[in-house]
Chain A
């Protein structure tokens, strides 16, 4: 498909473990965004990339969270020493620079930390 792809769709892990969430954006979209969404709440901004560089990482909650986009396409969100409070749906979105700059979202990765 031509949409934003996120893997895994579901991840269950134990407290203290390391987790990686992957996002494959729409081809040609230079901007990529990560959000975290808890049940019944709006998406919470984490970080966005313009090309390979993180243009704004002000939403990362602490140094356990890190994201990379080494070749300007696929991005990986990395969470170290997971905590139960990290449980949420992690949404990835990509955006072209042209037009309205609307976000095209993936279906999300649901993370559950036991």
Chain B
């Protein structure tokens, strides 16, 4: 069965520093996709970044990058130059199979707090 693990319930980071949020996953399917979402206190879920299991390079989107280590089944989110607005819950998610819709499961999340 597919599984997502986020081991950091909460993190505090100084503004302008980089931060890494950990995510490990477990699946027996060689085809899968990994997502990161941000959920501010307002409750909306905001898509940040995606990595496919066959992508050769780590995904990047602005200040967000995904450190994809396939052999270790790790998909950590790296936020560079953190800002106060980055304070939020962050969720890692996984979909088994590519090219069609399938079940997407989420981890328990990491609450990131940025200190001024």
Contact = CB atoms under 8 A, between A and B. Distances in A.
Contact of B108 (A33, A41, A48): A41
Interface stretch (A60-68, A70-78, A79-87, A92-100): A92-100
B52 A100 contact: yes
18 contacts: A30-B101, A42-B6, A42-B91, A42-B108, A42-B109, A43-B91, A44-B106, A45-B103, A48-B103, A56-B102, A93-B45, A100-B35, A100-B50, A102-B35, A103-B35, A103-B37, A105-B45, A107-B44
A79 B109 CA distance: 26
B103 A31 contact: no
Contacts, number: 63
Q: Classify chain A: how many residues form its interface, as a range.
A: 20 to 34
B43 A107 contact: yes
Nearest to B6: A42
Contact of B50 (A97, A102, A105): A102
A6 B9 CA distance: 29
B87 to A, nearest CB: 15
A69 to B, nearest CB: 13
Interface of A: 30-31, 33, 35, 40-45, 48, 50, 55-56, 58-59, 89, 91, 93, 95, 97, 100-105, 107-108
A91 B99 CA distance: 24
A43 B101 contact: no
A107 to B, nearest CB: 6
Residue among B33, B50, B91, B101 with the highest chain A CB neighbour number at 10 A:
B101
Interface of B: 6, 33, 35, 37, 43-45, 47, 50, 52, 91, 93, 95, 99-109
B56 to A, nearest CB: 16
A58 B102 CA distance: 12
A101 B104 CA distance: 10
A97 B101 CA distance: 6
Contacts of A107: 43-44
Given A102-B47, A108-B43, A43 B33 contact: no
